[in-house]
Amino acid sequence: MQIGYIKIENYRNFQEFETTLSKLSVIVGENDSGKSNFIKALGLPLSGNNLDYTNKKLGISDINTQSIIDFYRSIASSESDDIIKTKIPRVKVTIRFTNVTNEYEKQIVRLWLNEVNGEPCYEIRYEFRPKNEDDFIQLVKELIEKDKKQHKEGENDEVISNMFLPIEYYDYSIISTNNFKQISYSDLKNVTINTIFAERDDFSESNSMKSNSILTKLLHQKLSDDEKNNINKEYIKFFKSIEAQDNFKSIFKSEEESFTNIKSYINDIKCIPNIANLKNILSNITLGYGDEFLHQKGLGQRNIIYIFIFFLHFKSDKSHFNLSCVEEPESHLSSNNLNLVIDYIKKSVAESENLFQTILTSHNPNAINKLEFNNVIAFSGNKAINFNSADPLLVSYLAKRPNFDILKLLFSNKIILVEGPSEEMLINTSLSNDTSSLSSIDVISIGQKGFKMFLDIWLLLNKGNVNKKIGIIRDFDNQPKAKYEHDKYDTDNSNIFVRTTTGYTLEDEIVTTKTNCSVLSNLFRVNNDIRSVSEFMKSGKTEAMLTLCNAWQLDKDFITLPTHIAEIIDLVK
């Protein structure tokens, strides 16, 4: 059983957003792309671990700003009430459960059976909307009219920008999409979400001591009945030992001496423990590591222990569906510890019960590569690109190159892809030599001749985005068909630029550009002819290019950049 699909409407940065999920999903995206908001949205229809329903009533800042503007403009434009009603900012989070296989799982979701595209599924939805939509519209109209009187004619946009949403007229509900009836607390308590957020120092430092809380639950879950009885007996013995202390007996001694007839009452006073349940007894445990409290350890060490305990508890819970989310598992971790934690998470998910599902968010390309590219979901605006159906060739390529920075490819604003390290060195030297401007261009060597699969992936997120540009620098290699196929990306897309050498390879192009042949023949101490210099550079490859770039850094006018490279740099800039 797992959440296979989620749709979010009008929650924070998501106006209309949907994606599919798998047993392990890795969410990537730029800062402010909505990764944290996505996890918080998931928590609206699901039970939190503490079932805190106060977090489900939203504030004005939780409602998508554009949806509020669209609503007010509809009213200000005097559209009909029927149209206005469709534009009321309603927050909706729809969750669909899939792969419900055994009877216990069916029992958990039995009331939420629905049908989508002719297929049975189980759906629930969180809704935050006005309690009475007609009254709500009338109230907002009155607010707009009142505000209009304070502005000059034609200042509708200013009126709209000053409006707020009367959120006190809203309420939330969690419903089944098959009959739109509200779901009771008792029916929701077995589908839970548990999250380690990016800001997680409170797991060992704050009053909440989240790591201690999880340890308490683990102990309560793992201890046998005999062990629990022994703990209760020792708890009672503890109070008996208090009663046996001399100072306990002396508390009432002065009263016995003063009033002899009160002695019989005092003798019957006992130290009887206020019998706490086992969870309360165990909750007094503070987590330690080695000979120190956990909160005395470094942030990285605390992060490792918290993740271990977190997964140990929730993956072994066979009575609840647990969606376990971890933001930035790489937080504060060294390279060695990150490898350990990522491998632990990956194997924990693989061996876990059907009722366990995991979502991670990450900015670390190494973590993403280790968790496999087909588990990745990339966020960009209101789009989510799921790579579980990615080209097997690309998945295979990334598996063979664990250090390839897929995040740089997907999210850089300006990027140039080249075939090998020679082109990469040459372009980076050119950018470094340009003292007139600061460069924000990323250059990536892909280690192969074909760029099409990379462009296809890049286009999924960035097609038509004027803020994103990608340049391709490639060798002709006497392959006119390949040149045509790559040039088509350039002609079909305004933010893709492709240039190919006119000669066979990059080395041919460098040597034949202006006076480069003469300059390089002196540098490499070879005959001053195109063939000799080109062959020397081809035989030396990266060593020859490194020598060239070092000389170019010392003399900014040392060589002239080949036209196809200069054009790409100017276009991407």
Q: What is the pLDDT of residues 195-219, one digit of tens each?
A: 988 876 555 444 445 666 777 777 7
Segment among 38-52, 98-112, 205-219, 223-237 with least mean pLDDT: 205-219
Q: Lowest mean pLDDT: which of 243-247, 343-347, 502-506?
A: 243-247
In 259-300, at which residue ranges do the beta strands (DSSP E only) sit?
A: 288-289, 292-293
- Is 228 or 8 the better-scoring residue by pLDDT? 8
Under 8 Å between Cβ of 141 and 75 = yes
| Sequence-distant (≥ 6) Cβ neighbours of residue 421 within 8 angstroms | 445, 542, 545
Q: According to the model, what pLDDT value does residue 114 have?
A: 92
DSSP 370-401: HT-GGGEEEEETTEEEEGGG--HHHHHHHHH-
What pLDDT score does 204 carry? 47
Section 548-567 average pLDDT: 95
Q: What is the pLDDT of residue 13?
A: 93
Which of 214-223, 305-314, 332-341 is the least confident region? 214-223
Between residues 213 and 87, which one has the greater pLDDT?
A: 87
At residue 448, the pLDDT reads 81
- The per-residue pLDDT of the chain, averaged, comes to 86
Greater model confidence, 360 or 541? 360
Beta bridge partners of 3: 97
Residue 344: HSE in the Cβ half-sphere, 13 Å Cα cutoff = 18
Q: Which DSSP helix (H) or strand (E) runs through 432?
A: helix 421-433
Q: How confident is the model at residue 263 (pLDDT cuts 50, 70, 90)?
A: low
Over range 171-190, report the average pLDDT: 93
Q: What is the pLDDT of residue 369?
A: 82
Phi, psi of 17 (to 5 degrees): -145, 140
Output the pLDDT for position 235: 76
* pLDDT score at 81: 92
- Residue with structure tokens 């792969």? 99
Lowest mean pLDDT among 43-52, 89-98, 120-129, 411-420: 43-52
Share of the chain above pLDDT 90, in %: 53
How confident is residue 234, by pLDDT bands cut at 50, 70 and 90?
confident
Tell me the average pLDDT across 278-289.
69
Q: Which long-range contacts (CB under 8 A, 24 or more apart) does 456-461 make?
A: 456/391, 457/387, 457/390, 457/391, 457/394, 457/409, 457/410, 458/409, 458/410, 459/493, 459/496, 460/378, 460/385, 461/378, 461/380, 461/383, 461/385, 461/410, 461/411
State yes or no: pLDDT of 151 exceeds 70: no
- Rounded Cα distance between 337 and 343, Å, is 10
pTM for this predicted structure:
0.82
Query: What's the confidence (pLDDT) of residue 208?
Result: 43
Convert the pLDDT of each residue in 471-488 to its tens digit: 999 999 999 999 999 999
pLDDT of residue 293: 73
Confidence category of residue 302, pLDDT binned at 50, 70, 90: confident
